[in-house]
Amino acid sequence: MTHGPAQVRAALAEAHRAEWGVVFGTIVRLTGDWELAEDCAQEAFTRALPAWEREGVPRRPGAWLVTAARHRAVDVLRRRTTERAKLAEVAALRADHEPQPVEDERLRLIFTCCHPALPLESRVALTLRAVGGLTTREIARAFLTGEDTVSQRILRAKRKIAAAAIPYRVPLPGARAERLHGVLAVIYLIFNEGYAPSEGSTTRDALAEEAIRLARLVTAEAPGEPEARGLLALLLLQHSRRAARIGADGELVTLEHQDRTRWDHALVTEGVDLARRAATAGGPYALQAAVAAQHALAPTAALTDWRTIVELYDRLLALRSNPVVALNRAVAVGMRDGPQAQLDAVDELGAPRQLAGNHAVPAVRADALRRLGRLTEAAQSYRAAQAIAPNGAIAREYARQLAALGEPGSTDARPAGRTADHTQSDA
């Protein structure tokens, strides 16, 4: 079947998105050489464009690309040396006619990229490069860092894998649950950087969507893991609000003020269904997804089931002490029991190291003080939050809160609301 140039380019772009990890992972599995695998995968995609324009898009693009990359690897290894060991590799490559299941290839790649022996930032960069096929420039842009920094992180990760002889495989059953937690943590970190960037832009949808794609991959290929299902549910439910989180003027809109008709209700339906199926395991991601589902199911902010949300946060804190979760619980307690209860819960947190410099702490405190009518103290807390806001949109949100309190020099008349829609406060 013939295709026009535009159709071929579209097919190749889709193949890159869907098959990069399989092509790359296949050559890693066959040669154990990450540098060679990347070169061969890149070469296969480069050769595909003229070949597909000339011969048409193959019925199985992924298989075509794997074969092209494998042939390239054979050629390279032949040229490199005639040593016996390398000849054996060539023989093995040529003999590998049986394709591995795609799901096995991707799962091996994800678990290897997220090996705990690698620093966290290297795991993130390597996962986006090897599994997601993002370029070094794209990763650098997403995390607002230099391309050289990303290149070095990826290079060091590859060297560490080689030096430590980290096996290219899915962990054995006994170790899989423990390693899966690290994989999910990396995916969640990628999503959070897209949902609420640590600095700069208000959102980075492409990065959030890549995290969702990775979460779908892990969930599909590890269907017996409820925490993978819980993470996917959480990401879908949070991402479903993206259109309503940003106002027409580009400003952040808090959950309380969002137009719920603008939520992506297909994602809400899928997320709520996944959250319900993950709930029986009661793991951390499943519980956070259950909180997000409560928000998603509430017809209005005022009709949110805060009692259930507080109970879910209590269960989450019983699993693991986490000051961010405790702060979110303080907000929920305030909505259930009133602003004094919220203020008390925030003050009970003290000053944990993990919340040092977190703008949400003074913001949650300011919200309680405002609702108690202690406006001077509320303004002081909003100013403190504004001073350490991670990006301009959040800082402007606090400016609006100050304006609503009658701070001089501001004219914004929008009613004051609860805290800004910070990273996980409205999970």
How would residue 203 be classed by pLDDT, with cut points 50, 70 and 90? low
CA distances from 298 to 219, 255, 259, 303, 308 (A): 27, 12, 12, 6, 12
Tokens of 235: 């990401």
How would residue 277 be classed by pLDDT, with cut points 50, 70 and 90? very high
The pLDDT value given to residue 425 = 39
Share of the chain above pLDDT 70, in %: 85
How would residue 245 be classed by pLDDT, with cut points 50, 70 and 90? confident
CA angle (380, 382, 386) in 5-degree steps = 120
The pLDDT value given to residue 212 = 93
Q: What is the mean pLDDT of residues 39-67?
A: 93
Helix (H) or strand (E) holding 237, with range, is helix 226-239
- Distance separating alpha carbons of residues 160 and 157, to the nearest angstrom: 5
Q: Convert the pLDDT of each residue in 393-404 to its tens digit.
A: 788 889 988 998
Q: Which long-range contacts (CB under 8 A, 24 or more apart) does 83-92 make?
A: 89/30, 89/31, 92/30
Please report which residue ranges of 164-302 form alpha helices under DSSP H: 173-195, 205-221, 226-239, 242-245, 265-278, 284-297
pLDDT at 221 over 70: yes
Share of the chain above pLDDT 90, in %: 45
The pLDDT value given to residue 372 = 95
- Distance separating alpha carbons of residues 125 and 143, to the nearest angstrom: 9
Q: What is the mean pLDDT of residues 406-418?
A: 52
Q: Phi and psi (nearest 5°) for 65? A: -70, -40
Q: What is the mean pLDDT of residues 214-236?
A: 90
How would residue 415 be classed by pLDDT, with cut points 50, 70 and 90? very low
Residue type, 374: R
The pLDDT value given to residue 330 = 95
Tokens of 335: 């909505």
Q: What is the mean pLDDT of residues 347-374?
A: 89
Q: Convert the pLDDT of each residue in 290-329 to its tens digit.
A: 999 999 999 998 899 999 999 999 999 999 888 889 999 9
Q: Convert the pLDDT of each residue in 78-110 to its tens digit.
A: 887 655 565 566 556 655 555 555 556 778 888
The pLDDT value given to residue 90 = 59
The pLDDT value given to residue 181 = 83
pLDDT at 409 over 60: no
The pLDDT value given to residue 412 = 47
Beta bridge partners of 246: 252
Q: Convert the pLDDT of each residue in 127-186 to its tens digit.
A: 888 887 888 887 887 676 788 999 999 999 999 998 888 888 888 777 777 788 888 988
Q: What is the mean pLDDT of residues 367-384?
A: 94
pLDDT at 66 over 90: yes
The pLDDT value given to residue 3 = 66
As a whole number, the mean pLDDT across the chain is 84
The pLDDT value given to residue 96 = 57
Within 10 A of 401 (CB to CB), how many other CB atoms are there?
Answer: 31
The pLDDT value given to residue 235 = 97
How would residue 14 be classed by pLDDT, with cut points 50, 70 and 90? confident
Asked if 216 and 172 touch (Cβ cutoff 8 Å), the reply is: no
